[in-house]
Amino acid sequence: MSFRILMFPLAILATLGLVGAGIVALVLALIYPDLPSLDSMTDYRPKIPLRVFTADDQLIGEFGEERRALLKLSHVPMRMREAILAAEDDRFYQHGAVDYQGILRAVMANVFSGSVKEGASTITMQVARNFFLSNEKTLTRKLSEVLLAYKIESNLSKDQILELYINQIYLGQRAYGFGAAAYVYYGKPLDQLSAAEMAMLAGLPKAPSRYNPIINPKRAALRQQYVLRRMHELKFLSDADYDYALHNPGHATPFHSGFLLKADYVAEMARQYMVQTYGEDVYNRGYKVITTLFKANQDAAYKAVRAGVMAYDHRHGYRGPEDTADLATGAVSDEDLEDALSDVDVSDDLYPAVVTQASEQAVQAYVKSVGPVTVHSEGLAFAKSALSAKAPASRQIRRGSIIRVARTDKGEWEITQYPDVQAALVSLDSHDGAIRALVGGFDFDQNKYNHVTQAYRQPGSSFKPFIYSAALEKGYSASTLVSDTPLVISDPNINNGQPWEPHNYEPEYEGSIPLRLALAKSKNVVAVRVLQAITPGYAHQYIMSRFGFDPERHPAYLSMALGSGQASPLQMAAAYAVFANGGFRVKPFFIDRILDDHGKIIRKTQPQVAAEGAEQVIDARNAFVITSMLQDVIREGTAVRAQSLGRSDLAGKTGTTNDHVDAWFAGFQPSLVAVSWVGFDKPTSLGSHETGAQAALPIWMAYMSTALQTIPESQPILPPGLNVVTVNSGKGEARQDYQYANPVEPAH
């Protein structure tokens, strides 16, 4: 009897086991055949975006639906792998497709906590889900995930699975994979991250939005600390390294497009070229464009343009708040204040803020993405007049005003404003035309118009060196005396046929002066007299054919002597390079090479180099003499403030157009040319004192002070056929100058 009683429950258990096995077999029979092929894993080809880099491997642009940076597992730092294992699956290399020990641990933890706090998905299961399955919480999907994980484990090695995970997992901000996330959150390659920064990234897969260090920094920090603690418990971090990581967590920043280096205009130039050349699918084929930019040069150019524009803007006073937000009376929540600023973008260091309380002693404001701040004392100086009750309503700062603030060098907040004026700078290697820096405007996000390549403006007096170059070929020399006296010209092509009286910028006339001094002091009347003597027709043909300007943009009139035509900053840089390199015309270029998704070079620029294939368009003697004259512009002329750079090998020319609409400085050191421009998009006067020397030269100087740090001083070598002579300097004293020994027609 007892035996029968014992057998009954055993029979029930056996029956249940058979039924369960049958159900499992049925499930396997129904689901397993429909599991997807692993071809997409064994031949992994994700959508890799078009990426643009500097010559020294700094990422400056990425274009595509998904941000990716594919990495071989051997190129992933061991500490990054350890952080991932600590965060997601520390027994990855010990268990199979399913971690039964982990499941038991998770069940126990959830039972004791009374809620579902822990999961037990292995890295292999996450790979299965990310490649083939949705995130729906159904039994069928979970069974498919488990079965697919077994299929993956039977076909791929652990290292292959981990490599797929590292490259495929979504980590927020459109970043797929840890290589891309390193750039998005920290602006640098994965192998340059600290242990704390790696831990932050390793914590993202669990919930990329919830633990996003930009959107939810507090939650992200807690997750980072958990990952670091697990790394320490697993002996991946020593006590010292763990302590250091906790106290140095790193700082994820909402970098523009995820890039530290600001080169948006060049990145966009590269994007346009790639689409025009290779079609729309460049966004997912993994092309890599290596530009000619140098990080140090580009960074210096960007900072110089920003500083120059802000200096100009501050010289012309505070214009008033950008807008007004309708704030409720009484206390206002941070969420409401953020909403009020939702449509106003941060522009690098210029933060939008909404004023909550204002007086002449202090302004309290909520700064976008920062929080409440107080501006007082010196921080109010720029906008002091707008804090007065007597200020016009449109200029007055009061509760609800949307203003701009920035941090000072001391870390204090100050009121500033977003500028209206634009500026640009381009710099290129004079020997081959490689563009080393290009900033097409103040803020690419606000104005994508590239002023370096697209803006054709009057160059003003910065065009005079080309007139004088033509004059040298007509028998003039740097010491030729020309009359600097008032001039009246009647020409049907000028001034609507009315008499035209060109004036010097300074209302001073010095009688007969050498051409050299006339250029240094930018004498307009002398330039017109020279052009009149050599004829506009000759000068036009000479300049257009040798320096690469558009003939139709520079009519052959006498006003051409004053730069009345139109040129872009890039054209001006290329033209000045002819003087800098000894007479050779080089073609500017910004793409060094293009690589496919396997790293194979599919296009390499082969520039024509000065004296090594580039066309010689002016005589070497001509280039030498004009360069020496342009050096005098800095030694004793309109650009004398550039002497503060402490170099003797700089040459250049200021340019200011009629009514001070455009301000230029074009200059060079023998190996590097740079051109800066300042103006409004809609041609408007910059102000009566805003000359090339005042507005554009400081930008050029700020750039060159950094760009030339590694370039030793050098002087052009006196070419054959040029005699050194003693002449009258024009100041009543003798000086050395240069004259052609036997003038010859320059090479064509």
Q: What is the DSSP annotation of 208-253?
A: TTTT-TTT-HHHHHHHHHHHHHHHHHTTSS-HHHHHHHHH------
For residue 672, how many other CB atoms are within 10 A of its CB?
22
- The pLDDT tens digits of the residues spanning 63-102 come to 987 888 889 999 999 999 999 999 999 999 988 878 777 6
- Calpha distance 76→522 (Å, rounded): 59
CA 297 to chain CA centroid, Å, is: 11
Map residue 630 onto helix, strand or coil. Answer: helix
Secondary structure class of 331 (helix, strand, coil): coil
Can you tell me the distance from the alpha carbon of 133 to that of 122, in angstroms, rounded to the nearest whole number? 15
Query: How many whole angstroms separate alpha carbon 359 and alpha carbon 399?
Result: 10
Planar angle of CA 458, 637, 583, nearest 5 degrees: 65
**For residue 384, what are the contacts with CB-CB under 8 A and spacing of at least 6?**
360
Q: Measure the CA–CA gap between 522 and 655, rounded to whole angstroms.
A: 9
The Cα 455–Cα 425 span in angstroms is 12
Each residue of 124-146: pLDDT tens digit? 888 888 776 545 555 555 676 78
195 within 8 A of 237, measured Cβ to Cβ: yes
Contact between 573 and 427 (Cβ < 8 Å): yes
Q: In 10 A of CB 60, how many CB atoms?
A: 24
Task: Copy the structure tokens of residue 174.
Answer: 């459109």
Single-letter amino acid, residue 435 = I
Residues of the chain with pLDDT under 70: 1-45, 102-103, 105-120, 132-142, 144, 254-259, 493-495, 743-748
At residue 243, the pLDDT reads 96
Are 634 and 643 spatial neighbours (Cβ–Cβ below 8 Å)? yes
The pLDDT value recorded for residue 491 is 72
The whole-number pLDDT of residue 23 equals: 47
**Structure confidence at residue 455 (pLDDT):** 97
Check residue 128 and give its pLDDT: 82
Distant-in-sequence, close-in-space partners of 323: CB < 8 Å, separation ≥ 6: 344, 401, 402
Q: What is the pLDDT of residue 746?
A: 45
Question: What is the model's pLDDT at position 33?
Answer: 55
Query: Which pLDDT value is given to residue 743?
Result: 59
Domains of the chain: 23-45+73-261 (1.10.3810.10), 322-416 (2.40.50.140), 424-589+608-740 (3.40.710.10)
The residues assigned a catalytic role are 88, 461
In this prediction, residue 353 carries a pLDDT of 96
CA angle 187, 291, 437 (to 5 degrees): 80
Instruction: Say which amino acid occupies 313.
Output: D
Instruction: Output phi, psi for 48, to 5 deg.
Output: -100, 125
Give the Cα separation of 563 and 277 in Å (integer).
36
Amino acid at 640: V
Position 257 scores a pLDDT of: 46
Q: What gap in Å lies between CA 430 and CA 707, rounded to an integer?
A: 14
Cβ-Cβ contacts under 8 Å for 680 (sequence gap 6 or more): 420, 421, 422, 661, 686
Structure tokens at 218: 């507090």
- CA 724 from chain center: how many Å? 46
**Amino acid at the residue 721:** G
Which secondary-structure segment (H or E) carries 15?
helix 2-31
> Is-contact 294 594, C-beta < 8 A?
no
Q: Which of 280, 592, 281, 542 is nearest to 428 (CA)?
A: 592
CA angle (117, 122, 124) in 5-degree steps: 150
In DSSP notation, 159-189 reads HHHHHHHHHH-B-STTEESHHHHHHHHHSS-
Instruction: Round the CA-based radius of gyration of the chain to a whole number and report it.
Output: 34
Q: Between the CA atoms of 84, 90, 91 and 96, what dihedral angle is there, to the nearest 10 degrees?
A: -30
Judge contact between 180 and 61, C-beta under 8 A: no
Torsion of CA 42, 283, 290, 444, to 10 degrees: -140
Backbone φ and ψ of 298, nearest 5°? -65, -40
Q: Report pLDDT for 628.
A: 97
CA 360 to chain centroid: 38
